[in-house]
A and B are shown apart, each in its own frame.
Chain A
């Protein structure tokens, strides 16, 4: 790998960045190929392992089973659930999700209804005024009121037509949405199936490297007990994360923000992985 921070360039499988102003997360982003101001890290593409333990710092507690599964994958282990999981995921990707515009249809139906109510009240008011003016014998004013009444009645008829059309459109869309929900229901079942398979695959993969993980925990400094099976680990979470890295075979560098294994070279050696060492309290870009 080759790391450039500002004017400083360093390369090798163990890069010391403890004297540079660069935050661990910025290094991880740069490794993933994201543009980070003033930081360039040229290295192989990070894998699933890096999502879990791409940055190791004191106190961080990544979910161990997922990290172990990623470590197993980096070693070329494959879960028996893999083919089924891929099929389920392919079926999920096939499903399109049409947008019916239901929200807009609801809004239109509500607005049309309000307009109708408003005009209906206006017609009643005008009718009352026409009657009152007739009783009072005010012919001219009554004629004006009658004209307004006729105009408002016409608009009311239009508003009724519009409201009915909007309601029918909404009814139609809701029927269609109900049909689509049958498909969504199947989709949800598929999503659950994919999640169950992924969980089973993770459990299987974690199991395959657990003996190696236990040995790594014993070989590294810190207090932790791996127990018999994934899920049994008790103790220092940083030790667990470091042990996962030691088990795995990552191609892209792991950012190590703890000095418990020593400097860059010593850390890379003990983890048997490419490493960028940063200061525990590193901040910056």
Chain B
């Protein structure tokens, strides 16, 4: 899908108008951002916004995340184990410490 995020009042107003006028192309609206269908028409709307408001409009091409494909096992297992923890108040860093889970700083530095 195409994620469009606006960074000025004018760009946000245009996005709002575009979204109301082309509901079938809008997958989801979030205030000053919207997800558009990845069709030529969706791209047409995104390009129009970019043309009109320049860098006040951010457009990203998104794909659904398949964690079984893209995310390393150790990261996925850590997430599953942490969500299954016994004490809800344990922060992740403490939880990972002493167990065989990756530490947050190391994960932050590692691109997917």
The interface of chain A, by Cβ under 8 A from chain B, is 97, 99-100, 102-103, 177, 180-181, 184-185, 187-188, 191-192, 195
Check B7 against A185 for contact (C-beta < 8 Å): yes
Instruction: Tell yes or no: B9 within 8 A of A by CB.
Output: yes
Check B8 against A187 for contact (C-beta < 8 Å): yes
> CA–CA, A235 to B11, complex, Å?
35
Q: How far is the CB of A107 from chain B (nearest CB, A)?
A: 12
Given A103-B54, A180-B55, 17 more pairs with CB closer than 8 A: A97-B55, A99-B54, A99-B55, A102-B55, A103-B50, A177-B55, A177-B58, A181-B5, A181-B7, A181-B58, A184-B8, A184-B55, A184-B56, A185-B7, A188-B8, A188-B32, A192-B9
User: What 0/1 pattern do residues 46 to 77 of B give for CB contact below 8 A with A?
Assistant: 00001000111010000000000000000000
Q: How far is the CB of A63 from chain B (nearest CB, A)?
A: 17
Check A188 against B55 for contact (C-beta < 8 Å): no
> CA–CA, A103 to B51, complex, Å?
10
Residues of B contacting A192 with CB < 8 Å? 9
Please report the total number of B residues contacting A with Cβ < 8 Å.
11
Check A188 against B54 for contact (C-beta < 8 Å): no
Check A184 against B7 for contact (C-beta < 8 Å): yes
Residues of B contacting A97 with CB < 8 Å? 55
Closest A residue, CB atoms, query B9: A191
Q: How far is the CB of A213 from chain B (nearest CB, A)?
A: 30
12 contacts between A and B (CB under 8 A): A100-B55, A103-B54, A177-B55, A177-B58, A181-B5, A181-B58, A185-B7, A187-B8, A188-B8, A188-B32, A191-B9, A192-B9
Residues of A contacting B12 with CB < 8 Å? 188
Residues of A contacting B56 with CB < 8 Å? 184
Check A195 against B55 for contact (C-beta < 8 Å): no
> CA–CA, A180 to B57, complex, Å?
12
Q: How far is the CB of B17 from chain A (nearest CB, A)?
A: 17
Q: How far is the CB of A49 from chain B (nearest CB, A)?
A: 25
> CA–CA, A269 to B50, complex, Å?
53
Q: How far is the CB of B14 from chain A (nearest CB, A)?
A: 14
User: What 0/1 pattern do residues 1 to 33 of B give for CB contact below 8 A with A?
Assistant: 000010111001000000000000000000010
Closest A residue, CB atoms, query B7: A184
Q: How far is the CB of B83 from chain A (nearest CB, A)?
A: 29
> CA–CA, A100 to B50, complex, Å?
14
Closest A residue, CB atoms, query B5: A181
Residue in contact with B7 in the complex, picked from A103, A188, A195, CB distance below 8 Å:
A188
> CA–CA, A73 to B63, complex, Å?
54
Q: How far is the CB of A113 from chain B (nearest CB, A)?
A: 15
Residues of A contacting B50 with CB < 8 Å? 103
Residues of B contacting A99 with CB < 8 Å? 54-55
Closest A residue, CB atoms, query B51: A103
Residues of B contacting A103 with CB < 8 Å? 50, 54
